[in-house]
Chain A
């Protein structure tokens, strides 16, 4: 099925560093969502973006909905060990609840 192009695939950083990851698509989405998934668990919604150009923050997380509606990025500032996990972007189709997911970014934070 269709997937979003998410990069990087993995990141190894030191505690306290900032992190940036992004997603691009050939399709337009009206809503972008960012999720974090821990091993063996379901994805947890971090941020939802509804308007092109929108910049939204949730604590140390900031995400933006690209102007073209075909991309989005997520920044994590001052990373901490509990930020470890897999981060997924997802685009929500206009006609329903079908989410198209990126391949995920595996984040490792070294204390």
Chain B
């Protein structure tokens, strides 16, 4: 059974640009959550989707957005990139909300 797949693995973007990250959950999982990991802030919750609906959102500015498709795949978008957005972005999938989460390898975003 394939794990959580995140693409791309690495990205370098310039300040002011936007970026879209993709996550394919484990087959059969319908809940997808996104996290930002930085050395200073640790792992911070971004948002959670289940059945194409955003159920929960973390304390991040509106530049961070996401969506989930009918096949449970999810994307997150960051607009008007800032240097501080440089981080490892992790996607986690769960069979349903409130069950254990399995993480992908992450997308390393560097903003220059």
**Chain A residues in contact with chain B, CB under 8 A?**
1, 3, 30-31, 33, 35, 40-45, 48, 88, 90, 92-101, 103-104
B42 at the interface (CB under 8 A from A): yes
Nearest residue in B to A102 (C-beta to C-beta)?
B42
A24 → chain B, closest Cβ, in Å? 16
Residues of B contacting A103 in the complex (Cβ-Cβ under 8 angstroms): 42
Main secondary structure of the interface of A (DSSP, over half): loop
Verify A100–B97 contact, CB threshold 8 A. no
Verify A1–B59 contact, CB threshold 8 A. yes
Given contacts A42-B6, A43-B90, 19 further A-B contacts (CB under 8 A): A1-B44, A1-B58, A31-B98, A31-B100, A33-B100, A33-B101, A35-B103, A40-B88, A41-B105, A41-B106, A42-B90, A43-B103, A45-B103, A92-B101, A94-B98, A96-B48, A97-B56, A98-B33, A99-B33
B31 at the interface (CB under 8 A from A): yes
Given A40-B108, A43-B90, A97-B58 contact (CB < 8 Å): no
